[in-house]
Amino acid sequence: MKHSLRSQLNYWLLASMCILSTYSYGQYTPFKGANMILLGTSLADKEALTEIANVLTDQSISFSVDRNLVSFQAKDKSSGGNEPIVFEGFLSVNAGLVKLTGKMQNAASGSQTVSYIPVEYTTSKASSQRLGFLYMDQLAKKLQPVLHGVIIYKYQ
């Protein structure tokens, strides 16, 4: 009886650890609700920032750097509407970990007010949240070779 109880307890403990570690560390493929992309790197923070700046410059993306935070904005007029889609992204570099997050501008036609929607991976193909996440994902894949890291998708 004790052996059976112990093995059940071990099973539930192992299952709980697996679930919690997957939730806290992320996954290797995008999942519904993911709103952050992490890239590990073996480069020092300063070197990683230099490589990130080189990639953004090559992609003609304007950016600013404040310590270990890179802010950038990208506009896309391919949506077919009059107003361009505006993505605002943030890359932070800390101890070999690059975090990529972003938000989409949501400006109603003819309105003076602008609101922001955080990007996340959704199943709705036409949502601005998904468009922003896919843009962020494409950028992460361009950064991956120069940072020599693995891409992980996470919900925060």
Enter the tokens of residue 51. 């490589």
Counting every residue written for the chain, the total comes to: 156
Q: Are 6 and 133 in contact (CB under 8 A)?
A: no
pTM: 0.79
Q: What pLDDT is stored for residue 22 in this prediction?
A: 41
Q: Are 38 and 97 in contact (CB under 8 A)?
A: yes
- Average confidence (pLDDT) per 10 residues, the chain, 156 residues: 53 46 69 95 94 96 94 77 81 95 79 85 90 94 95 94
Residue with tokens 């404040």: 66
**What is the domain partition of the chain in residue ranges?**
27-154
| CATH architecture for segment(s) 27-154 | 2-Layer Sandwich (3.30)
Question: What is the full DSSP assignment across the chain?
Answer: -HHHHHHHHHHHHHHHHHHHHHHHH-BSS--TT--EEEEE-SS-HHHHHHHHHHHHHHTT-EEEEETTEEEEEEEE-TTSSSSPEEEEEEEEEETTEEEEEEEEEEE-TT-S-EEEEE----S-TT-HHHHHHHHHHHHHHHHHHHHT--EEEE--
